[in-house]
Structure 1
Amino acid sequence: MAFGKDGPLIKRSIKELLEKAGLEDDGLLDESEFIKILMHASAQRFGMAIELFFGATGIAKKYESQRLSIEHFAEGYYERMNCDDALNPFLSHDWRSIDTTIAMDRHIKESRQIRRRPRQS
């Protein structure tokens, strides 16, 4: 994904999904920096960006929040990627330097291992 080309699509998609979830955003979606962080956190994968949004929405609902905030994204990213704050793009001031593909690849590998079931004899 590229911000100039795909950023508006992500923003529109999330706004529509947010409305369907019955939540408001706290101004996040109007900040181009946030969309860039989300794209970076998702390793430039559209589907993963939407999955991160769903995770953040779940966190907001868990806390009975009416508004989706960056803290919800940060917690959702932590739960999914199991990384410390310094490697969480939603928390780090130096988010551009984080190689999110490492966490993403580790997550995919771990997910595949969990899905594999031992053969029954």
Structure 2
Amino acid sequence: MTKSSYYRAAFAVALGAALFLLLGIGALGVIGDGGRPDLLYLVVVAVGVVLALASRLRPAGMALALAATALGTLLVGIVAVATGLHEGGSALDVIMLSTMYAALFGASAWLFRRAAGGTRAGAA
């Protein structure tokens, strides 16, 4: 794959994950029965958008923005369960959904890293 192919794939995964998260929040809610705690996920996505724009949509900056979004998404789920915000819902469901969304954002970050030409030391 070319760098531009990685970039397009990464952008599609990021956009898809964000839309999937927004639809999940709107339809059923992720934390409990929905409501205010779910707005924390929107804050994470908004911060990711701001970081992406600050990086001028360059692949290396986008990789960091999406990695931060993945971490933030996971932290929202952990904090929601730890503080009891998940009332009316299963703690396991909140953790699993947060992990799923974080994995999608993380996959996008990895693809952006590939688009930037970054590889691990010793990798082919």
TM-score bracket, normalised by the shorter chain, equals 0.3 to 0.5
| TM-score of the two chains, using structure 2 as the length reference | 0.32
Q: Which has the higher contact order (CA 8 A, sep 6+)?
A: 2
| TM-score of the two chains, using structure 1 as the length reference | 0.32
